[in-house]
Structure 1
Amino acid sequence: MMHIAVVDDEERIRLGLAKLIEQTGEAFQVVGCFSSGQELLNQLGQLPIDLIVTDIKMPQMDGLQLIEKVQQRKPKIKFAIVSGFNDFSFARQAIRQGVEDYLLKPVDQKELADLLHRVMKNLELERYRKAVAIDEHIRLLLRNDVSQLPEHMIQGATRDLGQTSLFRQHFAVLVVRTEPEISVDQMENYLGHWSREHRLMSWEPKQTVILASIGEHDHSDTVKELGLTLMRKFPASLLVRIGLSGIHQGAMKLRDAYLQAEECVQFGWYENGSRAAMDHASMRKDGDDGYNPVKLLDKDMRPALQVLDIPRAEAVVEDWLEELHRNRPSWRTLSEGSSRLFQLIAEEMSERQAEAVDLSEKQIKLAPSLFADWRSYRSALQQAVGEQLQELKNVRQENRAIETVKSFIQQHYTEEMELQRLADIVYLTPSYLSKLFKTETGETITDYVISVRIDKAKEVLTRNPSMKTYEVGEQVGYPDPAYFNKVFKKVTGFTPKEYRDRVRL
């Protein structure tokens, strides 16, 4: 709707213009017809006016003087002038003063309609740009600590926001988190019962921020009542968490209000059931005050992992999760604790020469904000931890398999070492055993057999100086003297005889 005032000292022309304007469409409403500029000025502060259509030549105060006086008091009002052909020089001057356009008498309805639609389009564009600018200022102050922002940005934002009625009085911030996520338009539908001024904006995934005005007739529990009333409007199929800030005044308090509401959302995230509303004034304050979820892990989890007591480690995790639920730490603190849990498991795997866990991937997948509530997060965390503990358990079993193979080789190094025979001992396939042995020890099974035989050969050469070198080779599993000499020199850099001679010196 565009509100229009008509000013002309001739009643016939004044009323005729008003009739033509209203015939243009329902979007154009004449809010007053005035016989003089002074008559309009007397009521200027009492009427909603977007456009003034005025004659130029009028007694006492002409159209140009009227435009100047209105612009001093209401600079955003638009103007169009009506002039006779002989007044064209006045029309040009008016256009230089920022008038939208002029109409020649007698006024043509099509020309009038074109002018009105053009002015409405410009008004809509200005309103849109203003709304976008207001949203940008609000987002800037919601997301950032004002002490860290450049002064010119703070001044610009607070100046523009201070001109809105929402920030001239008290306000509160509501953060609404839904699962599944709903659009701002859907949220607006649920606020259809609100008569108070408010502003909505889409925020983090699954979250909407609502700024609500708090008037002089409201009371200390108004914000809580708003949240509870809104929560009842949502369908039963939605999982809803609402965080309610305290009551604040002034755009500079936006960040404080948002952080209060966000804290309440995260606190309510731990609640059982499909919906919860938490207000900052009555929220239990011992949830995250000085609580450090890493302490229990370092105290109890590390010892259980070091001795590979998996059942004990699982019990520690269960107790830790119960403690988390009781204390309700912030998402940031919760994420730090979960990251530490995976880090402890990763460190233990690394100690046992297992493949390292990709902690960054775990942190991304287990970000609390991605989950509808504590129960779904806890379930996903337990599953992920269980998988890691099972991998650690498998590492233990694989380590035992490698130790068994190494022990067998040390006891039977004189015999033929067929890979299939070794694999059968530990119930693994030959290819998997070969890969596992290389991963765990850094050398192949063949290389390990050679190193064991050569170490034994060095012992015999040192202990029995009279024994022939070919006899030594036969004793450690190399019946071919030439091959024994070749392998021994490749490993030690000396022939068996050279090695014995050097040891005697």
Structure 2
Amino acid sequence: MKRVMIVDDNQICSEGICKNIHWKSIDAEICGIYTNGKDALSQLEKMKPDIIISDIQMPQMNGIELAKAVLNKYPFIKVIFISSYDDFNYAKEAIRLDVCDYVEKPIDYQYLFEIIQQTLHKSDLEKDTLERLEQSRPALMEKFFLDLINAGSDYAEYTLGEQAAYLDLDFSAHEYVCVYIDIHKYLDQMKILGVERYHMQIFHYIKTVENVLTKQCICYTINQGSRLIFLIGSISKIEDGFIPYLIKKFKNLKEEFQFQSLTKTIGIGNIVPSIWEISLSYQNAKHANGYKFILGEDSILSIQDIRQNNPFPIVFPLGDEEKFINFIAQKDISSLKDFTNLLEKRWTSDYYNKNGIIAYVYSLLSRLLRFLYDIGIEDQEIRYKMTNIFKKLEELQTSKEICSYLFEICVFSCKMLESSVQSKHTQVAEQVIQYIETHYHDFELNLNKIGQFVNMSPSYLGTLFKRAKEKSISKYITDVRINKAKELLKNTNYPIMEISEKVGYANQYYFSASFKKITGITPSEFRTAAEKKVSPPSI
């Protein structure tokens, strides 16, 4: 039931309002009648009215003064003015105070009834809105703090100050720090634990953190499922220092929660003197958290320590790219393994951040792509794999993972290079064979001449051909010439001297000696055997 307070120094007027309004029909009752504003104000806390119907002209405290005092402290109490003075200044003041209505005396009770009814309805709507706002308070607070950590310190208080006052937030601490916690592979953990159990573990962790810190700190939390952001204010002097205190507390919590399957990386930002500057601490906490990439998951990382250990920008050592490409070109897997292990040690000792490491690896892989392109390797699989690398790098969580993946790419590239080299060697060997088949009759056919044709040095070509065909080029030339000679001996009546010339021998005697060395018989004996249809020995 709604409660109505009447304030009027005219008793007849007050009684008239009491008797002529059907209060039960609008679910309302009179909670008090007072003859001046001062008495009414003193009973306000006790009576808790929803509506005050007040005269304007009264002794000690008039209606305007009463309304100002009431609305300043209880903005949701509704005020209706009644007055026998038809003065525009009163109406203007009533509007400025945002009172609900202004009714002139003598009172039209039906009109007053309607005004009261409308005012109560308006009060109900506002209370409903207030209840909804209160229910959504956690969401409003989270939005406020998200806006706060993303707002520049120059205008955070200007844009968010009124919201902080409405939410009644305690910002009395004398210094603040942001702690940024990243949950490693939270989607996988959610699948393993189940959504409900996952969030229960997170909730339990948050409450424990808040309870541990509450003696010396104010703590506000943003829970985003995959990350937790604590905005922590120090309300009393901490002997060992604020940052060491937080590191110690979170280390203890880490031991306490080691039974949980959740792996957390904790980044601690810098100290700021005001909550309105917390965005700077947030950015630094997030930056510190990024060093899990080199220092590993489940670490506690303070921006202070990182700055002390890494005061200089990342520098790519000269010669790394060429050394890397030489190992690839030589298909030296062992040296590539040592190279990637050395990278990981360097990144860890020099406190490289993730962006710096990715930029470095991009540089190496871009050089590798150029190298493979230059030597003619444009395989579709390697193009896809190289394109996928740049997406994959963003997903990897530690420098160890990146080094392992980089080594996999090295091994894959070496295999592709080996396959490409073998394919190219086979192609060159086939070119050589085709050239020999069409030029075997050339007296001057030799390794040097063939090398000029395929644009390779004689020594390299000789090694390549022997590896591909398991015989030397000179042996292959001799075999082709002897086989061609055998065909001519069987199928023609050319003299042996002419046959020797046709197959590339300038000297008949040298031809005969070579023929016998390979077949075991002389050219003449071969021809005689062929004429008698006796199978001669084969090469």
TM class by smaller structure: 0.5 to 0.7
Q: How far apart in 2 are the matches of 1:110 and 1:398?
A: 94
Matched, 1:292 2:315: yes
Higher alpha-carbon Rg: 2
Question: CA shift at 1:158, angstroms?
Answer: 6.3
Judged with a 3 Å threshold, the aligned counterparts in structure 2 of structure 1 residues 106 and 277 are, in CA distance, closer, same or farther, namely: farther
Q: How far apart in 1 are the matches of 2:254 and 2:397?
A: 16
**Structure 1 partner of 2:65:** 65
**Structure 1 contact 200–211 (Cα < 8 Å) conserved:** yes
Judged with a 3 Å threshold, the aligned counterparts in structure 2 of structure 1 residues 92 and 345 are, in CA distance, closer, same or farther, namely: same
Alignment TM-score, normalising by the size of structure 1: 0.58
**Structure 1 partner of 2:52:** 54
Q: How far apart in 1 are the matches of 2:40 and 2:436?
A: 112
**Structure 1 partner of 2:159:** 157
Indicate the larger mover: 77-86 or 283-292: 77-86
Question: CA shift at 1:94, angstroms?
Answer: 5.2
Q: Residues 172-215 of structure 1, C-alpha deviation per residue, up to 9 Å, x if partnerless?
A: 11110002437889645422242454443466x93332222222
Q: How does 1:319-334 map to 2 (within 5 A)?
A: 319-334=342-357
Question: Counterpart amino acid of 1:365?
Answer: K
Q: How far apart in 2 are the matches of 1:113 and 1:228?
A: 56
Identify the match of residue 401 of structure 1 among 407, 426, 441. Answer: 426
Q: How does 1:17-416 map to 2 (within 5 A)?
A: 53-57=51-55, 60-69=60-69, 77-81=75-79, 97-99=97-99, 117-123=124-130, 139=146, 142-143=149-150, 156-157=158-159, 159-160=161-162, 165=169, 169=173, 170-181=175-186, 187-193=202-208, 194=210, 195=214, 197-201=218-222, 206-218=226-238, 220-221=241-242, 222-228=245-251, 230-231=253-254, 234=257, 236-250=260-274, 253-271=277-295, 275-283=298-306, 285-287=308-310, 289-293=312-316, 295=318, 297-298=320-321, 300-355=323-378, 357=383, 361-367=388-394, 370-413=395-438
Question: Counterpart amino acid of 1:366?
Answer: L
**Structure 1 contact 245–280 (Cα < 8 Å) conserved:** yes
Tell me the secondary structure at the aligned position of residue 223 of structure 1. helix
Two-structure CA RMSD over aligned residues (Å):
5.3
Q: How far apart in 2 are the matches of 1:405 and 1:63?
A: 111
Tell me the secondary structure at the aligned position of residue 366 of structure 1. helix
**Structure 2 contact 263–298 (Cα < 8 Å) conserved:** yes
Alignment TM-score, normalising by the size of structure 2: 0.54
Aligned length: 382
Q: Residues 37-91 of structure 1, C-alpha deviation per residue, up to 9 Å, x if partnerless?
A: 55798999xx9xx9975342475334543333455x56x933323678999x999
Q: How far apart in 1 are the matches of 2:421 and 2:39?
A: 94
Q: How far apart in 2 are the matches of 1:139 and 1:393?
A: 54
Q: How far apart in 2 are the matches of 1:285 and 1:166?
A: 33
Judged with a 3 Å threshold, the aligned counterparts in structure 2 of structure 1 residues 275 and 393 are, in CA distance, closer, same or farther, namely: same
Question: Counterpart amino acid of 2:377?
Answer: A
**Structure 1 contact 52–77 (Cα < 8 Å) conserved:** no
Unaligned runs of 5+ in 2: 9-13, 15-22, 103-108, 191-197, 441-501, 504-539
Q: Residues 270-291 of structure 1, C-alpha deviation per residue, up to 9 Å, x if partnerless?
A: 445x622223344573257344
Query: What's the % identity of the aligned pairs?
Result: 13
Question: Counterpart amino acid of 2:129?
Answer: N
Q: How far apart in 2 are the matches of 1:40 and 1:393?
A: 97
Judged with a 3 Å threshold, the aligned counterparts in structure 2 of structure 1 residues 281 and 120 are, in CA distance, closer, same or farther, namely: farther
**Structure 1 contact 293–334 (Cα < 8 Å) conserved:** no
**Structure 1 partner of 2:536:** none
Judged with a 3 Å threshold, the aligned counterparts in structure 2 of structure 1 residues 91 and 139 are, in CA distance, closer, same or farther, namely: same
Tell me the secondary structure at the aligned position of residue 207 of structure 2. coil
Question: CA shift at 1:97, angstroms?
Answer: 3.6
Tell me the secondary structure at the aligned position of residue 265 of structure 2. strand
